[in-house]
Amino acid sequence: MPESPLTVLIAEDGAADRLLLARIVSRQGHAVLTAENGEQAVALFAERRPHLVLLDALMPVMDGFEAARRIKTLAGEALVPIIFLTSLSEEEALVRCLEAGGDDFLAKPYNAVILAAKIKAMDRLRRLQATVLEQRDQIARHHHHLLNEQRVAKAVFDKVAHAGCLSAANIRYLQSPYALFNGDLLLAAFAPSGDMHVLLGDFTGHGLPAAVGAMPMAEVFYGMTAKGYGLAQILREMNAKLKRILPVDMFCCAVLLSLSFQRQVVEVWNGGMPDGYLLPVEGGEPLALVSRHLPLGVLAPERFDDSTQVLPMALGQRLLLLSDGVVDTSDEHDQLFGVDRLLRVLADNRQPPLLFEEVLGALEAFRGRSRDDVSLLEIRMVDADELTPAPVMYSDSGQCAPPDWSLQFEFRAETLKRFNPLPYLLQLLQEIHGLRGQSGALHSVLNELYSNALEHGVLGLDSGLKQDVQGFAEYYRQRNERLQALSEGYIRIGLKIEPQGSGGRLTIEVQDSGKGFNASKVLARPLAEQGLCGRGLNLIRRLSRHAEWADDGRRACVEFAWQALA
């Protein structure tokens, strides 16, 4: 008995031969169907679907060649081996058998042993084909399933990650539809102060692992940006989180930006991404934003370096960020597209709106085809009034705002070194519903007051340094140096909330331990000579109801007011 019996169709017009064959085959344990001509054979095949067919070549009504063709068509992708029974011996006839779809021959007179061996061999082939087909279908099903999962995951991720402001008027970006599964991540959001935070990230690895890592990144980015945290704190949190959750060999290269439209500066942190570029308005050399840090998720929190670079960015200047899909594109000889070719494209660009197309065109020309993991992002410095930050969503429904309180903080040297109290104070002030309409102004003013007190007061830095790119770099170098060395000094912040008529009033007092400055003198100068210091003071005056400096400039006193809500 064979291991598993088959159903074998025997088509033979000679009754004696048919009987003989049927006996041989059934003795071997198989079930037998018989037909007297090709037409009967095809009909029986269609009805009973036997596993294997023994087919006489020459038969009345329909010969074996035609029957073989029809049976093969009916069988479709499954292999139904056909063994031709033939007394033909001319080569040409044998070739015709094969061409008609035959898999083997059996010459008359029939030999039981050879027939058994042939049936066995054909059965092996048949099973192999069945396995291949089954596995192919399984792979196709898995693939379909995977694509569907990716589609759903992307829809979920888009809800989490694209809640941001990528659609803002000053942003242009290009990202392949499945970039998420290439590990590319693009996030942008307005901070309460009206500043814009932008992240372009690139996870090691591809597919689901990369997408999974992107979720907590997006949550930290949006959550902390909305609460008014600065880049340094956001970076620390992201790094610590990724370090904790990712396996050792996974990390995320990222470049983070904070653009201040009020102050026209950009703060940059680049860990492992290709150079970004600050493009001049009218030709000239682009300024590279070079990676100075290890990627996120590599270093333990205590070794992480959150130091950023601050650059002046004039109205109309543009920043270009790109993923490694651009410079790492290689041609068939493993030659990289590289930075030089990219710089040439940037230099040759005449019409800014065509820059992306020109970069992609150059990549295509270099490689002969396009890649699906290229991300490009361009951000323009615009006037703050040109942008309308999305309204902040508040989670409470109101009515419980405390109307009358005050509080005082004093932050001393050790705290000033590594802690930014502003997000906490701002959270607190969010509780006052009447102030929510001015929360952008409030954030900007508090930021300005705090950095004035810290940088010019406690650290004694000279804002006159900030004349150009080198000056900015020097200023922030000194800022870091002095902050790290700080051993004494303080900043006191007082907040006072009082009811006033049907509305209320907020008084902010910020006092520092510095040498002070002559506020009225700075403000009396014409705008052009006031420099950045004056710009900060003017910003405070413009955004608040009232602002004054006392105690030789060591104490700032700023007021906001609101009317009862309708």
Partner 1 sequence: MAVETVVSQDGKKLTIKVKGRFDFGKHQEFREAYERKASRPDYVVVDLKEATYLDSSALGMLLMLRDHVGGDDSEVRVVNTSSDVRKILAISNFDKLFDIS
Query: Which pair of structure tokens corresponds to residue 356?
Result: 């992306």
CB of 332 to partner 1, least distance (A): 13
Per-position b or e across 535-565, b if 16+ CB within 10 A of its CB: bbbbbbeebbeebebeeebbbbbbebbbeee
Give the Å distances, CA to CA, from 535 to 105, 181, 304, 550, 564.
Answer: 96, 44, 33, 19, 32
CB of 154 to partner 1, least distance (A): 22
| Binders of partner 1 in range 96-155 (CB under 8 A) | none
CB of 335 to partner 1, least distance (A): 9
293 touches partner 1 by CB under 8 A:
yes
Q: What is the largest CA-CA distance in the chain?
A: 125
CB 35 within 8 A of CB 13: no
In the list 309, 330, 415, 507, the residue contacting partner 1 (rule: CB under 8 A) is: 330
328 touches partner 1 by CB under 8 A:
yes
The window from 26-34, 322-330, 503-511, 549-557 that contacts partner 1 (CB under 8 A) reads 322-330
In the list 64, 102, 274, 489, the residue contacting partner 1 (rule: CB under 8 A) is: 274
| Binders of partner 1 in range 302-321 (CB under 8 A) | 303
271 touches partner 1 by CB under 8 A:
yes
Name, in order, each residue with C-beta under 8 angstroms of 328's C-beta and a sequence gap of 6 or more.
336, 337
CB of 201 to partner 1, least distance (A): 12
Q: For partner 1, how many residues bind (rule: CB under 8 A)? A: 25
CB 544 within 8 A of CB 441: yes
Contacts of 151-156 with C-beta under 8 Å, sequence gap 24+, read 153/180, 153/208, 153/211, 154/178, 154/180, 154/181, 154/211
CA 517 to mean position of chain CA atoms? 47
51 touches partner 1 by CB under 8 A:
no
Name, in order, each residue with C-beta under 8 angstroms of 115's C-beta and a sequence gap of 6 or more.
21, 24, 25, 106
The window from 32-40, 270-278, 412-420, 451-459 that contacts partner 1 (CB under 8 A) reads 270-278
Window 177-206: contact mask with partner 1 (x via CB under 8 A): -------------------------x-xx-
CB of 212 to partner 1, least distance (A): 15
Report the residue number, 104 or 328, with the smaller CB distance to partner 1.
328
In 3D space, the residue among 564, 451, 429 whose CA is nearest the CA of residue 508 turns out to be: 429
Give the Å distances, CA to CA, from 442 to 120, 430, 538.
Answer: 86, 10, 14
CA 104 to mean position of chain CA atoms? 56
In the list 125, 147, 314, 336, the residue contacting partner 1 (rule: CB under 8 A) is: 336
The window from 268-276, 417-425, 503-511, 513-521 that contacts partner 1 (CB under 8 A) reads 268-276
286 touches partner 1 by CB under 8 A:
no
295 touches partner 1 by CB under 8 A:
yes
393 touches partner 1 by CB under 8 A:
no
Cα separation of 54 and 337, whole Å?
Answer: 62
CA 393 to mean position of chain CA atoms? 24
Report the residue number, 300 or 407, with the smaller CB distance to partner 1.
300
CB of 300 to partner 1, least distance (A): 8
Report the residue number, 343 or 523, with the smaller CB distance to partner 1.
343
CB 161 within 8 A of CB 412: no
User: H or E stretch including 236?
Assistant: helix 231-245
371 touches partner 1 by CB under 8 A:
no
253 touches partner 1 by CB under 8 A:
yes
Window 233-252: contact mask with partner 1 (x via CB under 8 A): ---------------xxxx-
Q: Which residues partner with 301 through β-bridges?
A: none
In the list 92, 334, 404, 529, the residue contacting partner 1 (rule: CB under 8 A) is: 334
Give the Å distances, CA to CA, from 88 to 13, 45, 67, 191.
Answer: 15, 24, 17, 88
325 touches partner 1 by CB under 8 A:
no
Give the Å distances, CA to CA, from 151 to 37, 145, 180, 181.
Answer: 54, 10, 11, 10
Report the residue number, 228 or 271, with the smaller CB distance to partner 1.
271
Report the residue number, 298 or 435, with the smaller CB distance to partner 1.
298
Report the residue number, 199 or 429, with the smaller CB distance to partner 1.
199
161 touches partner 1 by CB under 8 A:
no
CB of 544 to partner 1, least distance (A): 42
Query: Which pair of structure tokens corresponds to residue 560?
Result: 């906001």
Give the Å distances, CA to CA, from 2 to 19, 82, 222, 290, 309.
Answer: 21, 19, 68, 72, 79
CB of 249 to partner 1, least distance (A): 3
Q: Rule CB under 8 A: which residues touch partner 1? A: 202, 204-205, 248-251, 253, 271-274, 291-295, 298, 300, 303, 324, 328, 330, 334, 336
